[in-house]
Structure 1
Amino acid sequence: RNIQFALSAIQNYSSLDDWEWLHSSQPIYILLISVLGILFNVFVLMVFCLHKKACTVPEIYLGNLAAADLLLVSCLPFWAVNVANGFNWPFGQFLCKVINLGIKMNVYCSLYFLILISIDRYMALVHTMSHGRMRRPKYAKLGCLLMWGFGLILSVPTLVFRKVQYFPEYGVHACFLDYPDHTTELLCDGLLIIFTFIIPISIITFCTVKIIQALKIQAMERFNPEKTEQRATTLMMAVLLAFLICWLPFHVVTTLDVLLRAEVLTGCHLMTVLEICNQIFTYLAFFNSVLNPILYVIVGKNFRKKAREILKHMLLFSLAVQTPVVLLYISGHITI
């Protein structure tokens, strides 16, 4: 976030040895996340898109979440090269804007897809009868489309203010956020905290508490909701928990960083700690894009069933294509 501080630290290992791992460990980690994330999320999207049955409302949200994760992990290899290159951005200004736009859109869209998931589970378990009509696939698709648009709007500062600039004192062309003034920077960061931390966490927390209360009441009354709703709720809760574990530290550090730059908090040592924590927690957050597909397989019984059916159909199709060729070879019509 503070590119000049990072560059200065990297140029002075003797004064800040903690940054040395940037050149060695981080690029490998980022590339590993990218490869696994692309494979896993493409697999998830294939299962949802190729299955003969239409997606349910929870599956629509999870499919869009997988698409957002795929967008992120597709952009990360560029940033891995940037880090390995000592923050010397080799891809030009256009990709500087586009790659960071993709990363930011993942941050925003993933968060708001989880809000839609929380609200859907809240309506399914707390207001089962009164809001049943709103839980339809067409409304879910419209909601996802709006969230993609909202994520793009929130990413406008990244598109406008990201630029490549040469820093002669460090000998690099850095891709960084160049705000016109300190007030604009604090305003954008303040909006970031409100729309990616305070509002989302409040909504998710409220829905989660109400869902847990509803499940407790149903257990006491020995009332069991439909198995599909139970399975969907279990998977959604697992995805929400994974998101909070991976992303909450990042948002806390981001909030403290904004307070530090607004001079509400002070201290050079605190700035150093926050910059290092920002690096660690950013890549912990990115790991969420790999973790989500794993949760679908481990927790999602319906997803496993669909995946098996897709793989079975693909295997049968492959055999059907190969069988005529084998028969022709056996009969002597094809020679090697």
Structure 2
Amino acid sequence: MSANLSNQTTYQNETQCYGDIFFYLTVMEVSFLPISVLGIILNLFVLVVFCFHKKACTAPEIYLSNLAAADFLLMCCFPFDVLVLANDYMSSAICKLISTIIYMNTSCSCGFLVLVSIDRYLALVHPLSHERLRRPICAKLGCVLVWTLGFLLNVDVIVYFKAVRDPENNVTECSSVYPSRSHDVLFSVLYSTFTFFLPLCIMSFCTVNILHVLRNRVTESSNTQKMEHRATTLVLAVLLVFMICWLPGQIARVIHLLLVYTPKDECLVKLLRFIRVFSFFLGIFNNALNPILYVLVGKTFRRKMKELFQQCRT
């Protein structure tokens, strides 16, 4: 009876802060499963096309295939996570495994998007002077570097994430247990810097220079003009989608860190938490649609897809 009264009091307090958000949180939690299934199918399809095509992958295709692999691993975590939580099988080992895969592949996805932007920048702004940097061997080394940094940036997840029992709701949750606030602030700053703000700066630099070159370039024919227009639209779409999906959550994270050493406003803390959850939902949705945004709209990928189908028929 007292537990029900406590839950009701908590619900009323949170409703007074910013309305009834439990409905929206429930909708997002329910949507994780179909979105993850969609992401698994699309990213697996991209990997099949790139891996089983008879021709070797170019540098952009190496980046996009690694991006699809990171998104595929990320999407595979959510059905498993839902199954574990539904049956209350959460343990510290499972918590560390799932959290490491989620955070690591989220970081790697941002890294591969940066490599795609740099490749586009070198191809359009410095097509001759930096041609060696666009070789497949350099692309593979860049991907190895991204995977390595993605793991190193999330070592704290392996150390400090644990399964914690919530006796009030009678469930076991996976959460971070840092020894002090300074550890929490340090790892949050490192994560935000290297997985969002630094990639955003690099992508913005590449985009601005690409748009400058395309605007000043004299078009020789209507086909060239259409190609440049598609390239401009694609680059802008990459940056715009990246900002829309991840910027709200990162701003909320920064504000939350600033509140660590100041008197807390409970309503503001809960609102920031909701914004971060919603931003994470947008990021997952973006990762599920990455094959469409960055690969499936490409003419080269469609050609490879048709050639693979012809290989299967023969």
* Bin for the TM-score computed over the shorter chain: 0.7 to 0.9
In the alignment, what sits opposite 1:328?
none
Corresponding position of 1:204: 203
Partner amino acid, structure 2, of 1:60: I
Moved more, 190-199 or 52-61: 190-199
Opposite residue 10 of structure 2, the aligned amino acid is N
Following the alignment from structure 1 to structure 2, what is the Cα–Cα distance between the partners of residues 257 and 173? Answer: 25
Report the aligned-residue RMSD.
2.9
Cross-structure match for 1:271 = 269
Question: Displacement of 1:50 after TM fit?
Answer: 1.0
Summarize deviations over 1:59-103 as a string: whole Å, max 9, x none: 1111111111001100112333567x5xx9523211100111111
Matched-pair contact (CA < 8 Å) for 2:162–2:174: yes
Q: TM (normalized to structure 1)?
A: 0.81
1:25 Cα deviation after fit? 2.0
- Alignment partner of 2:54: what SS? coil
Identity across the alignment (%): 45
For residues 146 and 10 of structure 1, do their structure 2 counterparts lie closer, same or farther at Cα, with a shift above 3 Å needed? Answer: farther
Does the CA-based 8 Å contact 2:90-2:172 persist in structure 1?
no
Post-superposition Cα deviations, 1:115-143, rounded to whole Å, max 9, x if no partner, equal: 11111111111112211111100100110
Q: SS in structure 2 opposite 1:287? A: helix
Distance in structure 1 (CA, Å) of the matches to 2:256 and 2:81? 21
Asked if the contact 1:105–1:151 (Cα under 8 Å) also holds between the matched residues in 2, the reply is yes
Per the alignment, residue 303 of structure 1 pairs with 301
Partner of 1:55: 57
| Secondary structure in 2 matching 1:66 | helix
Verify the 8 A CA contact 1:124 1:229 in the aligned structure 2. no
Matching residue's letter, 1:268: E
2:128 counterpart SS class:
coil
CA distance in 2, matches of 1:125, 1:173: 51
Any residues of structure 2 matched to 1:18-33 within 5 Å, and which?
18-21=20-23, 24-33=26-35
Report SS of the residue matched to 1:129.
coil
Paired residues in the alignment total 305
When residues 61 and 298 of structure 1 are mapped into structure 2, their CA distance, relative to the original with a 3 A threshold, is closer
The change in CA–CA distance for 1:158 and 1:11 in structure 2 (over 3 A counts) is: farther
Larger Rg: 1
Measured at CA, do residues 206 and 266 of structure 1 come closer, stay the same or move farther in structure 2, by a change above 3 Å?
Answer: farther
Question: Which residue does the alignment assign to 1:131?
Answer: 130
Unpaired segments ≥5 residues, structure 2: 1-5
Q: TM-score, normalised by structure 2?
A: 0.87
Counterparts of 1:163 and 1:221, CA distance in 2: 60
Q: 1:55 to 1:187 in 2, by over 3 A?
A: same
Contact 2:110–2:196 (CA<8 Å) still a contact in 1?
Answer: no
Q: CA deviation at 1:172?
A: 2.5
Residue 306 of structure 1: CA displacement?
Answer: 1.2
Contact 1:44/1:293 (8 A) holds in 2: yes
For the 8 Å contact 1:64–1:144, the answer to whether it is kept is yes
